[in-house]
């Protein structure tokens, strides 16, 4: 470790609990996260910082600063000329229903927009745990469909050009952030790196982020963040933690462009009752069902079609405003 970063002054500010702590300014937060990602913070101080932030709750200014630092250090995939890239973070997988993230990515790519997924096979800190062991990660289904994870940003750029779809592991997109995510194994709880990973846009060029939330207060924080950073994003209630439409319950999808919110999908109509002709949620079964849709033997769920159309519309608006 070179030039150690002293965290004690900041820990005194953020380590006084939910009611007694003070939020860091955006610049302070960026400096702190930069030091963390560069490996300049000792393990003891890092643990203290992560747990203090978790107990306090991250402010919008802190998340913005943390994200500034992460983006400054992440790999960037060159976008195909003339088209914004749809960025689809996928870190949760599915446990109760089929994982439809690969289907969404495919149908958007088929419509002419390049899609960059990024994530990890599973949360290494939860491997073998009952709540995570049964989850089906997106990469498992993609591999069944013949789509391998890209080894670096150049490989991902080639995949975007050649087939319109690429998957970049977090360890490639942001090794430092992947290391902090992995601390869940030691600390036993999630930390702010999990939030940042789902907000990364590892793209060189215009992009549209697909984002989701489980708890309403987190959705409100994301809305403030997109307004502050004037980012292009679609925001929705998550389906098992993923930014993909549910076929079982209606979801409103909000569109954020240049700091302004609008409704992309109302979510007032009832979603489909289920997924016909899908025998199981395992990776092989889901991949076989996706192939059947690709070949026209099964219909595309209406909820996925509506989300695809919202993505295409947002991308068109983004291109028009560029």
Q: For 47-69, how does the pLDDT look when each residue is reduced to its tens digit (9 = 90+)?
A: 999 999 999 999 999 999 999 99
Q: So what's the pLDDT on residue 264?
A: 96
95 by DSSP, 3-state: which?
Answer: coil
% of the chain surpassing 90 pLDDT: 82
Report the candidate in 90, 29, 19 with the shortest Cα–Cα distance to residue 56: 19
Integer Cα distance of 25 and 58 in angstroms = 11
Give residues with Cβ within 8 angstroms of 179, minimum separation 6: none
Name which of 13-22, 115-124, 164-173, 198-207 the model is least confident about: 115-124
Domain boundaries, the chain: 8-73, 79-321
Q: Are 294 and 147 in contact (CB under 8 A)?
A: no
Mean pLDDT for 87-102 is 94
* Right CATH for 8-73 from 1.20.970.10, 1.10.10.60, 1.10.600.10, 3.40.50.300: 1.20.970.10
Q: For 149-203, how does the pLDDT look when each residue is reduced to its tens digit (9 = 90+)?
A: 999 999 999 999 999 999 999 999 999 999 999 999 999 999 999 999 999 999 9
Q: So what's the pLDDT on residue 208?
A: 98
Report the candidate in 36, 31, 38 with the shortest Cα–Cα distance to residue 68: 31
- Which is higher by pLDDT, 107 or 121? 107
- In DSSP terms, 257 is beta-bridged to 260
State the CATH architecture for 79-321.
Answer: 3-Layer(aba) Sandwich (3.40)
Mean pLDDT for 218-246 is 97
Strand locations in the chain, DSSP E? 77-78, 85-90, 115-119, 165-169, 203-204, 207-213, 233-237, 253-257, 260-265
239 by DSSP, 3-state: which?
Answer: strand
Over the Cα atoms of the chain, what is R_g?
19
Q: Which secondary-structure segment (H or E) carries 36?
A: helix 26-37
């Amino acid at each position: 470790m070179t030039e150690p970063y002293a965290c004690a002054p900041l820990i005194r500010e953020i380590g006084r609990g939910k009611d007694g702590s003070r939020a860091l300014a955006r610049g302070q937060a960026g400096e702190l996260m930069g030091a963390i990602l560069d490996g300049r913070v000792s393990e003891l101080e890092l643990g203290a910082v992560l747990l203090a932030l978790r107990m306090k709750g991250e402010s919008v200014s802190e998340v913005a600063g943390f994200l500034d630092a992460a983006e400054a250090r992440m790999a960037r995939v060159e976008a195909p000329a003339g088209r914004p890239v749809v960025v689809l973070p996928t870190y949760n997988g599915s446990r109760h229903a089929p994982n439809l993230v690969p289907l969404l990515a495919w149908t958007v790519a088929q419509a002419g927009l390049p899609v960059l997924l990024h994530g990890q096979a599973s949360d290494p800190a939860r491997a073998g745990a009952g709540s995570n062991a049964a989850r089906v990660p997106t990469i498992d289904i993609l591999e069944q469909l013949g789509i391998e994870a890209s080894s670096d940003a150049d490989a991902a750029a080639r995949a975007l050009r050649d087939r319109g779809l690429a998957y970049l592991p977090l360890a490639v997109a942001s090794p430092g952030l992947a290391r902090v995510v992995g601390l869940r194994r030691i600390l036993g709880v999630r930390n702010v790196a999990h939030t940042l990973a789902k907000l990364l846009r590892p793209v060189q060029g215009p992009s549209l982020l697909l984002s989701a939330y489980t708890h309403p207060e987190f959705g409100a924080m994301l809305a403030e963040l997109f307004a502050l950073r004037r980012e292009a994003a679609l925001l929705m209630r998550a389906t098992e933690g993923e930014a993909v439409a549910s076929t079982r319950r209606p979801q409103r999808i909000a569109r954020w462009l240049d700091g302004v919110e609008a409704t992309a999908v109302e979510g007032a109509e009832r979603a489909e009752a289920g997924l016909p002709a899908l025998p199981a949620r395992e990776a092989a079964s889901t991949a076989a069902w996706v192939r059947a849709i690709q070949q026209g033997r099964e219909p595309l769920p209406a909820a996925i079609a509506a989300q695809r159309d919202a993505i295409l519309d947002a991308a068109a608006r983004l291109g028009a405003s560029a």
